[in-house]
Structure 1
């Protein structure tokens, strides 16, 4: 992986996301609009469908990393999962997620916490399962040391997931092979979720990658 793969962008800054969720919180308060679903509703559906197919206990401990408006947790709660935590470093994102959970009647199943995954997040117990829908993408676009922060992300992920814990990542910045290079030392891929394809110049590819990883029993 070369340094050129880590291209800085405003999308990698907390200031950008603070602005986004300040606006979306205000819009929800005024109009009841939940805001944008990152990667669209299909991205949530494929994760929930995969989890349901595994017949995991509904008490499985699940953390949504960079939860945003919390809609993925809402869908999981509606499927019966009851041990859900969403974290985000934007306080307005957590306020928005909390309002949406209350509106959807799932507050009892969902906990929400303002926390920086690369900094202040220190859960008392490890999780069975971690979810990421765009957060690692944002980390990899951070203009202030994205390469090191990606390494830090993976170290934190190892620390907060149980051995053999599951990690499901949805990305539009990284291909399957690139994600395998990033996570392969600490995680092994167990499944690839179907995502929309596109064709260009006689070649077919995916605009979004969704992979299921399992944490190795030991992490470096």
Structure 2
């Protein structure tokens, strides 16, 4: 699963397909969410990765790095700064084309897992990992909202856009966000770290969404923009720790 279009900031990723229904919008606002979108559905991401898998087969194109290389490097720098051991278990939630895992493997991380609810995304990431000649990356087709029991005990969980997409689901986004937090709590070991990058949620909103079971450790610096005399960030990147 990749990153949806952004609510705040200047970066727009993908094609936003928002339902123009006033009742839906009002319900989502009451829930503290967003107007529903196809970007929150599995069908959309299956179609995306079907195209990207075809492009990889035809011309070796690995596809897009969501939020750009800068966002990927930002997370890696934090891991290096905090001296995260190379044998720490890392879970990439909604791995997409798996490029983040590829970079971690090249740095020497040896216990890394990528999950995605789209089988086509896992096929694509598997092809890319094979092309890179890497063998120490585990891939699984998993719905994080209904994970298998074995998805637990991770030292670090990474999310670059998956929570954003879940927040746009047309069918009960509020409940799905709550289930995400429960799944995350089970997936992480005690005192484990959660690194999230979002273009739809602000820092304060994310603090509220993950207030149960997690505490904020750090806000990572992200690009700023100025519009109408006011400054802001195009994305939000936070580090939480499981209580």
Q: Which runs of 5+ in 2 are unaligned?
A: 1-28
Partner of 1:182: 209
2:30, 2:206 → 1: CA distance? 13
Q: Does 1:28 align with 2:60?
A: no
Q: Which runs of 4+ in 1 moved over 4 A?
A: none
The residue number in structure 2 matching 1:58 is 86
Q: Match of 2:72? A: 44
- What is the rounded CA distance, in whole Å, between the counterparts of 2:47 and 2:68 in structure 1? 20
Matched, 1:68 2:90: no
**Residue 14 of structure 1: which of 42, 54, 64 is its match?**
42
Equivalent residue number for residue 235 of structure 2 = 208
Q: Are 1:102 and 2:130 counterparts?
A: yes
Which residue pairs with 1:118 in the alignment? 145
2:108 to 55, 80, 92: 80
Q: 1:87 to 1:164 in 2, by over 3 A?
A: same
Counterparts of 1:123 and 1:169, CA distance in 2: 22
**CA offset digits 1:71-98 (Å, max 9, x no partner):** 0101111111010000001011001001
Structure 1 residue 194: deviation in Å? Answer: 1.1
**Count of residue pairs brought into register by the alignment:** 215
**Are the aligned partners of 2:92 and 2:101 in contact in 1 as well (CA < 8 Å)?**
yes
> How far 1:60 sits from its partner (Å)?
0.2
Q: Is 1:157 matched up with 2:184?
A: yes
1:146-204 C-alpha deviation (Å, 9 max, x unpaired):
00000000000001111110000000010000000100221111011111100011111
191-200 or 150-159, larger mean C-alpha shift: 191-200
Task: Tell me the SS of whatever aligns to 1:5.
Answer: coil
Distance in 2 (CA, whole Å) between partners of 1:124 and 1:116 is: 11
- Contact kept, 8 Å, 2:164 with 2:200, in 1: the verdict is yes
How big is the shift at 1:6?
3.0
Rounded to whole Å, the distance in 2 between the matches of 1:104 and 1:197 is 34
Matched-pair contact (CA < 8 Å) for 2:119–2:141: yes
